[in-house]
């Protein structure tokens, strides 16, 4: 039985009672805000952060009707089908050029949780988690700065679990899948969320480190393949070599050797997708 759970509790259900029995996890998950339905967990977490919510504040929803991905992408969550949560963090000493590491930390936390179920996860730079080349999870990071100092950062996590959480192929620009189908078992959403929080807590100390970038690169999808990187000024194609120490990607463009590309608003996909 999971730690702290009452014998009569059905662990397959994601409820406030079940979460409170398991939280906090190394300082994460308290205070907890749980909603049976909400527009966006990240929007609510942002509002809490702006009001002074402490490090570790967690917003969880069973249903999310207006979730956001990167750019204009939407991430809706049908009831009882997925993980939709956002976490307020206030890490010390994080510089502007290290904020990409928070995306990596979130993606790694999900990937490592999936690996705990026996799956093989990859990270499509900068913030998507893939299984078998299809997207199973996405990370959205939003931050507020006072000059060069970080006020807060919100990590939004969305994971497709049940089949009904997987969007129709006509509604997405990249193939999507769910954990139940790929792992061939019904994944306990509560245990999955707790595993993600445990991994996040373990990775917090790695922010800004070479160890975080290396763990990220170890799971980097499409390495050695032709990829297309969309940046605000246009698009660039080349062979994906790996990551730079700052967490940007390195491309070999027409045999010219490593070229570092990244920054806010950048996204990547294989050329043949």
- pLDDT of 10 over the 70 cut: no
Domain of residue 120, CATH code: 3.30.930.10
In a domain, 6, yes or no: no
Sheet holding 249-252, edge to edge: 258-261, 249-252, 234-243, 226-231, 267-270
The domain boundary residue, chosen from 192, 218, 244: 218
Q: Are residues 163 and 240 in the same domain?
A: no
User: Do residue 175 and residue 254 come from a single domain?
Assistant: no
Instruction: Round the average pLDDT of the chain to a whole number and report it.
Output: 89
Asked whether residue 80 carries a pLDDT value surpassing 90, the answer given is yes
pLDDT number for residue 208: 85
Whether the per-residue pLDDT at 21 is higher than 70: the answer is yes
Asked if 176 and 73 sit in the same domain, the reply is yes
Q: Are residues 132 and 262 in the same domain?
A: no
**Per-residue pLDDT at 77 exceeds 90:** no
Same domain, residue pair 140 and 82: yes
pLDDT in tens, 134-171: 999 999 999 999 887 899 999 999 999 999 999 887 67
Q: Are residues 129 and 236 in the same domain?
A: no
Residue 99 pLDDT greater than 70, yes or no:
yes
Check residue 174 and give its pLDDT.
86
Cβ 147 vs Cβ 131: under 8 Å = no
- Cα 137 from Cα 141, distance rounded (Å): 13
Give the pLDDT of residue 5: 36
Residue 189: domain span: 16-218
In a domain, residue 10? The reply is: no
* Calpha distance 19→109 (Å, rounded): 18
The total number of structural domains that make up the chain: 2
| Strand pairing class (58-64; 32-38) | parallel
Instruction: Provide the 8-state DSSP code for 54.
Output: P
Percent of the chain past pLDDT 70, that is, above it, reads 92
Q: Are residues 211 and 230 in the same domain?
A: no
If one compares 92 and 143, the residue with the highest pLDDT of the two is 143
Cα–Cα distance for residue pair 38/207, rounded to 1 Å: 30
Please say if the pLDDT value at position 270 is more than 70.
Answer: yes
The residue among 218, 237, 259 that closes a domain is 218
Within-domain flag for 7? no
Q: How confident is the model at residue 73 (pLDDT cuts 50, 70, 90)?
A: low
What's the pLDDT at 7?
Answer: 36
- State whether 230 and 214 are in the same domain: no
CATH for 230: 2.30.30
Percent of the chain clearing pLDDT 90 (strictly above): 69
Residues 143 and 233 in one domain: no
Q: Determine, yes or no, domain membership for 105.
A: yes
Q: Is the pLDDT of residue 260 over 70?
A: yes
Q: Is residue 254 domain-shared with residue 213, that is, in the same domain?
A: no
Give yes or no: residues 43 and 128 share one domain. Answer: yes
Q: How confident is the model at residue 9 (pLDDT cuts 50, 70, 90)?
A: very low
Distance CA(237)–CA(146), nearest Å, equals: 36
- Do 202 and 250 sit in the same domain of this protein? no
Predicted TM-score of the model (pTM):
0.90
Q: Convert the pLDDT of each residue in 180-237 to its tens digit.
A: 999 999 999 999 999 999 999 999 999 888 999 999 999 999 999 999 998 888 889 9
Residue 3 resides in a domain: no
């Amino acid at each position: 039985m999971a730690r702290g759970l009452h014998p009569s509790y059905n662990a397959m259900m994601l409820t406030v009672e079940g979460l409170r029995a398991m939280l906090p996890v190394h300082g994460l998950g308290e205070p907890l805000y749980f909603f049976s339905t909400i527009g966006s967990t990240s929007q609510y977490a942002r509002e809490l952060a702006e009001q002074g919510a402490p490090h570790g504040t967690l917003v969880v929803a069973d249903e999310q009707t207006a979730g956001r991905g990167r750019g204009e992408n939407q991430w809706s969550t049908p009831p009882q089908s997925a993980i939709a949560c956002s976490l307020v963090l206030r890490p010390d000493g994080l510089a502007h050029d290290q904020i990409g590491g928070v995306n990596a930390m979130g993606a790694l936390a999900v990937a490592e949780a999936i690996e705990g179920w026996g799956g093989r996860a990859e990270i499509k730079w900068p913030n998507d988690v893939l299984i078998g080349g299809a997207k199973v999870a996405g990370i959205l990071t939003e931050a507020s700065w006072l000059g060069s100092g970080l006020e807060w950062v919100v990590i939004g996590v969305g994971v497709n679990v049940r089949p009904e959480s997987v969007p129709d192929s006509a509604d997405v620009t990249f193939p999507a899948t769910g954990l139940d189908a790929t792992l061939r078992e019904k994944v306990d959403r509560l245990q999955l969320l707790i595993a993600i929080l445990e991994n996040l807590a373990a990775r917090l100390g790695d922010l800004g480190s070479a160890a975080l970038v290396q763990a990220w690169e170890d799971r980097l999808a499409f390495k050695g393949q032709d990829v297309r990187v969309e940046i605000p000024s246009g698009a660039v194609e080349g062979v994906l070599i790996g990551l730079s120490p700052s967490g940007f990607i390195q491309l070999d463009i027409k045999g010219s050797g490593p070229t570092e590309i990244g920054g806010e608003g950048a996204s990547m996909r294989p050329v043949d997708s």
